Structures are given as C-alpha cells and as structure tokens.
Amino acid sequence: MMTRTAALPLATASDVAPPASGGMPSNRRSTVGETRAPLPYPDGWFSVCFSRDLPPGTVRTVPFMGQDLVLYRTAAGRACAIDPYCPHLGAHLGVGGKVQGEELVCPFHGLAFSPEGGCVRTGQGTTPPDASLTLRYTKEVNGAVMVWADHENRPPNWEVPERDLSAFASPPQHSSHEMRGYPQDTGENSVDQVHFGWLHGLTDTAATYEVGDCWMETLLTARWHGQPMRMRMRQFGMGHVQAESEMSRIGFRVITMLYSTPTAPMEWTMSWIDTFELALFERLPRPLRRAAYALLGPVAKRWLASFAQIDFPIWNARAFLGRPKLLRGDRGIAEFRRWSARFYPPSSTDKRVFPIRPVPPVSSAASGAGAAGASAEPLAPVS
C-alpha cells in the first residue's frame, strides 16, 4: 500500500501556530512546560552493532531498551542475540561466556546452549536440563546486526530490505555517536524541510512524501552552495533510514545506512555507514580507482559527518512536544507524527503524546507488501 501525501492537509487548525500579534506582550503561558521526558520504546527492527564488530567467536554485551543484550557469533558465522542470564543459576553470559563451535558456554558451570537457545550439554557430562535461553529475533542487513522489539512479544511482521551496494568501489565508512533524547529524531529530521534551509544552508528546497505500512519516504530537491542536489530518505520503523544523496553536476553520489537504537530512557545510539562514488574516479583503472577511494574515504567521512552533526546539539537538548505549534512548511512533520504513532504501544498514542491522528498499526499481512515495495531506483540527475 502506498499513498502520496505531498498535498495532505494538516489534521486540525490547532496543529499550526497562530500568527504573531504585532510583538505586543502577552499573558499567555507557553504550552511547552516540563516536557523533556522519555517516550515509550517503539516496536520494530533496531541495530545493536555493526556486523564487522562481531567476528566469529566473539561474545559482547550491549545496552538495549533499558537492559543488557548478549550478542555472539558462532564459528559458522551465525549472529545471535539473547537476554543475558543463564537459566541455571542466573550467571550473566556476557561476562566470561565463550563460544565453542556453534554453542555458547556459560562461565559458571559450563552449560552449553545451541543457537536455537536450548541447553545441549553440561560441563559435567550429565544429562542437560530442560532449559532454554531467551532468544531475540535477529537478522543481519546492510552491514548491521539487528534485533526485533515488540511490546507484546509478537514476532516480526515486516522486514528491512537489503540494499545492494556492490556497484560502489569505495570502502564503507562507519561512524557511531552516543546521544541524549529521542531516537525518532533521525526520521523526523528527514521530513523537516524548513530545517534543511535554516540549519544546513540548503536553498530552493522542495519535498514530497510517500507512506507505506512500515516505511515513509522523503524526496528532497535543493541547492547547496549553488550546486543542485537530490536526497531520497526512506525510514523503516523508528530504527533505520536508507538515504541516497546525489550532486549530479560534480558526479557525486553517497548511500547512507543510518541506525537509531534506544539504549535507555532518553539515551540512544546513532550509527551509520556511508559509501560513495565520484564520477571522476570511475574512469580510472581498477587498481588506481581503489587507491583513490581509499585515500579519499576518510576525507569524505569527515565532510559528510560535519553536515550531519550540525543537528546533534539540538537533538541532545530538545523536548518532544505532543502538541507542536507547526508552521505552514511543516507538513512533512505532521504526516511523520501520524505515521510513526503505529510503532508505539497504543496507550502512548492518545492525544497527550500523539495528538495528530495516528494511523492504524501494521498488520501481519503487511510483511510482504512493506518489504517488497521498499527497494528504490537510483536517483535521476537534477539539473
């Protein structure tokens, strides 16, 4: 299912701030108040580490939604994510646990668990108990290990599509930052057309939006220092954005895999992987092309990071307003709020938190349609 929403009206007149009244003092109080409070954890797929940071045989502990998760990779290369405690006597498997072949072995008494979670042997050679680890739905996609979260412990009902980056000769550039505030800021940022001009210095901005069951896409055209550019940003749930940016006149194109992971109330990790191509390099012989990309990669990483990190101080200090006083150019934010409400528990999507009409939640029937419609064609040149 896909709906084009470039001309969608705002929900109510109260969604838009009234015009200023000539600069005269007012006795009206701000509606903001003490609102820097955490949102509930959203449902969906979230990255817990880069794939490269979990080599075979590794065991590591990561924070996720207010608790520990233990990640490990078997000798055959399977990535697994589990709740941390051994069902025998509660040992933390991320503290001293080891991978032996395809099994995770508890450091306390040597109980070994298969990737399916069951206990398959003990350290004493006795009959293993009827005990299992708590497994998380796990998948690897676009350079990240991702886990599924659902407030009712339902299985995944949509998937994150794999993006084919084999045509890019540049080595992937990885970045990660610990943040304060709200993981959904990354997605809301991508639909905030006004901020691209005011904060990032883009001019002649224009945007359209499309909404699917599990994704929302923004297509932005603009100019940066006079150069025409085009950006397509597709958000999957609250945890993943696939972005493609192009400046056709200079032959520059970059693909970004962006991940937002809630780790604790008001704390989250923002991580991303960039890969790019430059038309000038594509004309070089393959050995020279690889060398050129290897030299330019760190420079491009710093340049791209400097563009993105302008937002960070604002995100780290902003409050989430359930009733924002939207401007006339904030149509994308209104639509994003309606769409994003489906990923939160129903009790949190009332008018106190999401007063802009939420849409119905994703159904299990959306799994095929949501993923199948997710692959985007390369951007057309912008003149």
pLDDT tens by residue, 195-249: 998 999 899 999 999 999 999 999 999 998 888 999 999 999 999 999 999 988 8
185 and 305, same domain (yes or no): yes
Task: Decide if 109 is inside a domain.
Answer: yes
Instruction: Give me the pLDDT at residue 85, please.
Output: 98
**CB of 255 within 8 A of CB of 246?**
no
Q: Quick one: 145 and 180 in the same domain?
A: no
Q: Is there a domain that residue 78 lies in?
A: yes
Lay out the sheet containing 215-224: strands in order across: 3-4, 203-211, 215-224, 227-236, 240-247, 252-264, 267-278, 173-180
Report whether 71 contacts 55 (CB < 8 A): no
| SS3 at position 350 | coil
Domains: count for the chain: 2
CA dist 223 and 217 (Å) reads 20
> How much is the pLDDT for 293?
76
- Contacts of residue 224, Cβ cutoff 8 Å, sequence gap at least 6: 200, 201, 202, 203, 247
Q: Nearest-CA neighbor of 80 among 52, 56, 44, 112? A: 56
Q: Is residue 304 located within the same domain as residue 194?
A: yes
Q: What gap in Å lies between CA 156 and CA 45, rounded to an integer?
A: 8
How far CA 88 is from CA of 93, 127, 131, 291, 360, in Å, comes to 11, 13, 7, 53, 42
- Tens-digit pLDDT profile for residues 333-353: 999 999 999 999 987 654 444
Whichever domain contains 136, its CATH number is 2.102.10.10
How high is the pLDDT of residue 277? 83
Residue span of the structural domain in which 71 resides: 44-149
Residues 298, 211 share a domain: yes
Q: Is residue 23 part of a domain?
A: no
Choosing from 149, 181, 197, the residue where a domain stops is 149
Please report the pLDDT score of residue 23 as a whole number: 47
Burial of 119 (0-12, 13-18, 19+ CB in 10 A): buried
> How big is the CA angle at 255 (ends 253 and 258), to the nearest 5 degrees?
150
Buried residues in 234-271 as b, exposed as e (16+ CB within 10 A)? bbbbbbbbbbbbbbbeeebbbbbbbbbbbbeebbbbbb
51 is a domain residue: yes
Residues 98 and 185 in one domain: no
CB atoms within 10 A of CB 4: 10
pLDDT for the residue 359: 41
- Give pLDDT, residue 7: 32
Residues of the chain falling short of pLDDT 50: 1-26, 350-383
The whole-angstrom separation of Cα 376 and Cα 187 is 17
Q: Name the residue type at position 353.
A: V
Structure-block tokens of residue 164? 């084919």
The answer as to whether 71 is a domain residue is yes
Rounded to two decimals, the pTM is 0.82
Give the pLDDT of residue 348: 61
Measured CA to CA, the distance from residue 246 to residue 116 in angstroms comes to: 43
190 and 138 share a domain?
Answer: no
Predicted pLDDT at 4 = 39
| Cβ–Cβ under 8 Å, residues 317 and 304 | no
Please check whether residues 138 and 189 belong to one and the same domain.
Answer: no
Scanning the chain, the segments in alpha helix (DSSP H) are 185-190, 193-198, 279-282, 286-308, 312-317, 331-340, 366-372
- Within this chain, do residues 297 and 186 fall inside the same structural domain, yes or no? yes
Cβ neighbours of residue 258 closer than 8 Å, sequence gap 6 or more: 186, 240, 241, 242, 243, 270, 271, 272
Specify whether 227 is located in the same domain as 134: no
Q: Which residues pair with 80 in a beta bridge?
A: 72
Domain boundary, last residue among 149, 165, 195: 149
* Selection from 369, 349, 361 nearest residue 150 by Cα: 361
Indicate whether 349 belongs to any domain: no
C-alpha 96/C-alpha 94 separation (Å) is 6
**CA–CA distance, 43 with 47 (Å, rounded to integer):** 13
Measured distance CA(343)–CA(365) in Å, rounded = 16
User: What confidence score (pLDDT) does residue 2 get?
Assistant: 42
CA distance 256 to 270: 12
Identify whether residues 179 and 262 lie together within a single domain.
yes
Degrees, nearest 5: CA angle 115-121-125? 165
Q: CATH no. for residue 314?
A: 3.90.380.10
pLDDT at 291: 81
Residues 226 and 283 in one domain: yes
Q: From the CB of residue 88, how many other CB atoms can be counted at a distance below 10 Å?
A: 15
Tokens of 219: 């297509």
- Give domain status of residue 166, yes or no: no
Amino acid letter, 277:
E
The answer to whether residues 143 and 280 belong to one domain is no
Is 219 within the bounds of a domain?
Answer: yes
